[in-house]
Amino acid sequence: MAKTRKTTPRRKAPASDTFALATAGAELALASLRVVNARTPMIIQAFNDPMRGNYAELTRMVSEKPLAFAQGASAGGPAWLAMADESNRYLAQAWKTPSYGLAPTLSASLGAFAFWGRMMSLGVAWQSAMLAPIHAAATTNARRLGPKA
């Protein structure tokens, strides 16, 4: 009886994950625009009249970006490692596959196509994980700095 390779369960990203990533990117772009539009007058006011500048907000503006990007990098690490693991698994398998005749070539082509699909799914998960903290910080700022109703 042939030995079967142990496989780890893989979560495939449905199309809704890709749509959610695109939506989050669009929301991030709009939130960034609103934050820039709200903070630009604060910068001008602090420049024109240093005694009346909103230094709490200006300080927050500088300190929150490295924190959000560091959180994004930390959140994306496991997903990036999953991509590296999948790549290593595929390349190790492809290296062991005989490379002569028509059947191995067809098998390698189908395997490469499946690998591409898995890497796209893992890539969406990686990008979503990295974007989430940055999106959260920007949309929170946009709500806080937005027009008071």
What are the domain boundaries of the chain? 32-145
What's the CA angle centered on 59, arms 57 and 60, to 5 degrees? 65
The reported pTM is 0.72
Q: What are phi and psi of 7, to 5 degrees?
A: -120, 145
* pLDDT tens over the chain, length 149 residues: 555 555 555 666 566 888 889 999 999 999 999 999 999 999 999 999 999 889 998 898 888 989 999 999 999 999 889 999 988 888 887 777 666 655 556 666 777 788 888 888 888 989 999 999 999 999 999 999 887 64
- pLDDT, position 148: 61
State the Cα–Cα distance between residues 122 and 102, nearest whole angstrom: 30
- Chain position carrying tokens 């196509």: 113
Query: Dihedral (C-alpha) 28, 29, 34, 37: value to the nearest 10 degrees?
Result: 140
